[in-house]
Amino acid sequence: MRELKVVIREAGHRLATLRNAGQVPAVLYGPDVPATPVSVPYGEFERAFAEVGESSLLRLEVSDDTAQRARPYVVLIRDVQRDPVRNTPVHFDFHAVRLNEALRIAVPIRFHGASSVESRGEGVLVKELHELEVEALPEKLPHEIDVDISGLASLNQVLHVSSLSMPEGVRVVTDSDAIIARTEALISEAEIEALETPPEETVGEVEVVGKKGEGQEEGEQTVSGEEGAETKSE
């Protein structure tokens, strides 16, 4: 299990100052664990996160300036917030877990293989899902779910959640009828042009009925028949 060392930080410490010093602020919490503000060096967090993501367990060693011995926790990294411009982490959570209690989390899908529909130039592969919600004991949680798309060899073929084989002890919560990926035909340039061209609107002549016209008393209406226009008075 991957290990990471963090230090308890003072509540109310200026977060901007902490980040400028190369530290990322975080909060440790969980069952029987009061919310505890901590910090971790930016580089160490990024290396650990690249390995475990948000679905694999991490052994966390928490200490402060006065601690003689670091206290260990088994945690999941949750709710990573990043700077929208630099994409660097600005805050996240460590969720301490109980190893004997099942968890329900979203696990990313890793697609592998290739659809022959695309290689033949007949169509495209559309990925509908990029993660699955699963339930398992913490030590059984998969880091990612492998999905082989090489079986999608014809047009309009679909791959459902129900077709996946999951590791022992892992239950899929996502609807079994949900589509993970599918193939569809390419749209030709003529079809694209037809979709983008607005339909022509034809406005026909509209005869106003019930208005007084030349040689017609008010209240009369014009009726068309086989013998021509006929004036009918009520």
Structure tokens that stand for 171 in this block: 């239950």
Which pTM was predicted?
0.71
- Kindly report the CA angle at 133 between 130 and 139, in degrees rounded to 5? 115
Residues 184 and 109 in one domain: yes
215 found inside a domain:
no
Instruction: Look up tokens 């402060």; give the residue.
Output: 64
Q: 169-220: per-residue pLDDT in tens?
A: 999 999 999 999 999 998 766 665 666 667 666 555 555 555 555 555 544 4
Q: 121-153: per-residue pLDDT in tens?
A: 889 999 999 999 999 999 999 999 999 999 999
Could you tell me the pLDDT band of residue 3, with boundaries at 50, 70 and 90?
A: very high
Burial of 135 (C-beta count, 10 Å sphere; 0-12/13-18/19+): middle
Residues 9 and 90 in one domain: yes
Q: Quote the pLDDT of residue 26.
A: 95
Q: What are phi and psi of 175, to 5 degrees?
A: -50, 130
Residues 127 and 93 in one domain: no
Closest to 40 measured CA to CA, from 32, 28, 52, 31: 28
Residue 68 has pLDDT above 80, yes or no: no
CATH number reported for the structural domain that contains residue 25 in this entry? 2.40.240.10
Residues 125 and 140 in one domain: yes
User: Domain range for residue 24?
Assistant: 2-97
Domain end among 97, 132, 151: 97
**What average pLDDT does this structure show over 157-163?**
96
Residues 109 and 179 in one domain: yes
**What average pLDDT does this structure show over 25-40?**
93
Residues 30 and 115 in one domain: no
Q: Quote the pLDDT of residue 160.
A: 97
204 found inside a domain:
no
Q: 72-129: per-residue pLDDT in tens?
A: 999 999 999 999 999 999 999 999 999 999 999 999 999 999 999 988 888 999 999 9
Structure tokens that stand for 36 in this block: 């505890």
Domain end among 97, 129, 164: 97
Residues 143 and 110 in one domain: yes
Give the span between the Cα atoms of 1 and 59, in whole angstroms: 6
Residue 223 has pLDDT above 80, yes or no: no
Could you tell me the pLDDT band of residue 226, with boundaries at 50, 70 and 90?
A: very low
Give the span between the Cα atoms of 180 and 135, in whole angstroms: 18
Which residue pairs from 199-202 have beta carbons closer than 8 angstroms and sit at least 24 positions apart in sequence?
none
Q: Quote the pLDDT of residue 191.
A: 61
Closest to 209 measured CA to CA, from 225, 231, 188: 231
Residues 6 and 81 in one domain: yes
Residues 78 and 159 in one domain: no
Q: Quote the pLDDT of residue 69.
A: 61
Longest dimension (CA), the chain: 111
210 found inside a domain:
no
Residues 109 and 84 in one domain: no
Contacts of 53 (CB under 8 A, 6+ apart): 77, 108, 143, 144
Query: Domain count of the chain?
Result: 2
Q: What is the 3-state secondary structure (H, E, C) of 17-65?
A: HHHHCCEEEEEEEECCEEEEEEEEEHHHHHHHHHHHCCCCCEEEEEECC
What count of other Cβ atoms lies within 10 Å of the Cβ of residue 185?
12
Residues 114 and 28 in one domain: no
Q: Quote the pLDDT of residue 201.
A: 65
Q: Quote the pLDDT of residue 182.
A: 95
Closest to 116 measured CA to CA, from 108, 127, 124: 124
Q: Quote the pLDDT of residue 11.
A: 74
Could you tell me the pLDDT band of residue 5, with boundaries at 50, 70 and 90?
A: very high
CATH number reported for the structural domain that contains residue 175 in this entry? 2.170.120.20
